[in-house]
Amino acid sequence: MKKMMLGFTSMAIAATLLGAGGNTVNAATTNDKVSTQAEFTVKNGDITLNSAPHLNFGETSLDKLTNGNVKLDLQNNTKTNGNDNTGKDALTVTNYDATAKTWNVTATASDFQETDKSTGAQNGTVLAGAKILVNTAKVATVNEDSSKSNNQAKGTSSLTNIMGQGAVVLSGNPSFGTTTAAVSEANDAQLDLSGVDATKVSPDKAYTADIDWTLAINPTAQAAD
């Protein structure tokens, strides 16, 4: 009797695992899934002119001016008139603007004026005939991070007159990084006083000219819709 009951139980279990025709019935499975994304945004940067050089041409004498053809090489980048010393020894441009195709820096100098040595204030008395020449072919350009930038900024010509006109003194392509153009050696800039009338000069007076350094960019062409 015990053997018959055991056999019956075994047959019942087998019946639950076999379908019609003796086929095995698999347990139910699910293929549901949820997809998401990872994302980030790259924000465009800026292009900036960070610094520009102060040009100190030292001094000359009245007798040299009277004899004419006085040309003074750049002495240093020290500002000796007044308390403000914002001028540096180089042009420095930093570019992280992807819309800039090319860029350039122009320099425009005003006429020299008599200047108070203690305050640096100009008194409005103009000394005509002087020329400031920047040797843009000599200007050395160095990338501060050359491993990450391929900036080809360079001077465009030699001994460019910047008096009263916007002359391009530095230009570059859109590569990213910082470009430093040194203007610190004697032949990087020159002051030509050969056109100055010596009788118009006030001895022992300081003369200064303001220089505006302007950064301009040429934007990339927009893709056609």
Higher confidence at residue 108 or residue 26? 108
The answer to the question of residue 131 being in a domain is yes
The answer to the question of residue 86 being in a domain is yes
pLDDT the model gives residue 189:
94
Mean pLDDT of the chain: 80
pLDDT the model gives residue 25:
59
Residues 6+ apart with CB under 8 A from 94: 46, 47, 48, 50, 177, 178, 179
The answer to the question of residue 31 being in a domain is no
CATH number assigned to the domain comprising residue 169: 2.60.40
Among 79, 104, 99, which residue's Cα sits nearest to residue 89?
79
pLDDT the model gives residue 199:
93
pLDDT band for 110, please (50, 70, 90 cuts): very high
The answer to the question of residue 176 being in a domain is yes
pLDDT digits 0-9 by tens, 167-223:
888 888 767 888 888 888 898 999 999 999 999 998 888 999 999 999 999 876 444
Q: Is the whole model's pTM more than 0.85, yes or no? A: no
The answer to the question of residue 183 being in a domain is yes
Among 164, 156, 64, 63, which residue's Cα sits nearest to residue 109?
164
Region for 185 from its dihedrals, namely left if φ exceeds 0, alpha if ψ lies in -120 to 50, beta otherwise: beta
pLDDT of 144 above 80 = no
Count up the domains in the chain and report the number. 1
pLDDT digits 0-9 by tens, 66-77:
998 899 999 999
pLDDT of 160 above 80 = yes
The answer to the question of residue 163 being in a domain is yes
Among 222, 220, 224, 217, which residue's Cα sits nearest to residue 105?
217
The answer to the question of residue 89 being in a domain is yes
Q: How far is CA 107 from the centre of its chain?
A: 16
The answer to the question of residue 11 being in a domain is no
pLDDT the model gives residue 7:
46
The β-bridge partners of 90 are: 182
d(CA 88, CA 78): 8
pLDDT of 98 above 80 = yes
Domain of residue 189: give its range: 47-219
